[in-house]
A = this chain, B = another copy of it.
């Protein structure tokens, strides 16, 4: 029992984690993943993504019995009826979630037990860009600020270090901070 308790740290099975890392180190092909989303327009600013299958660890993954459905919208001031967070808010959520999970995995690997991880995110935007009213401002956020509060059984400098390490390894932080080539095709 003590062994099991030691193995599970921050809700992560550390034995499984080391096993996964070793397996991918030995066979790098296991590290190739493809994630997917399908989106359908419903009405106005309301659309919904369904997210289920992905490829990873050298196979099509079918472990999810049901698809996740996530609804997007816009508030009234941006011509919607608040059917969900708006796309820019979902981007902040993706960033927060990825930094947090990366941070939790890093802490687990370093045998630090976390008690609290909270973050607040702000993104600043001049909507004249995305509304087509100005070519002098960009369409997206000019900048994003993230503030973390982290508590656990390690001194503050160690907790700050795991946040730094999370930035250095987070997939979404990399994508949002550095950009990713996006190719769009159309069937019409």
Contacts and interface: CB of A to CB of B under 8 A. Distances in A.
B36 A138 contact: no
Contacts of A176: 91, 175-176, 179-180, 182
Contacts of A157: 188
Interface string A150-179: 110000110110010001011111111111
Q: How many copies make up the complex?
A: 2
Q: Contact size class for A?
A: 35 or more
Interface of A: 10-13, 16-17, 20-21, 24-25, 28, 31-41, 43-47, 49, 51, 54, 56-57, 61, 63-64, 68, 70, 72, 74-80, 82, 84-102, 104-105, 114, 116-134, 138-151, 156-157, 159-160, 163, 167, 169-188
13 contacts: A16-B79, A17-B79, A20-B77, A31-B134, A33-B126, A47-B97, A68-B89, A88-B94, A90-B97, A131-B169, A142-B180, A145-B185, A167-B184
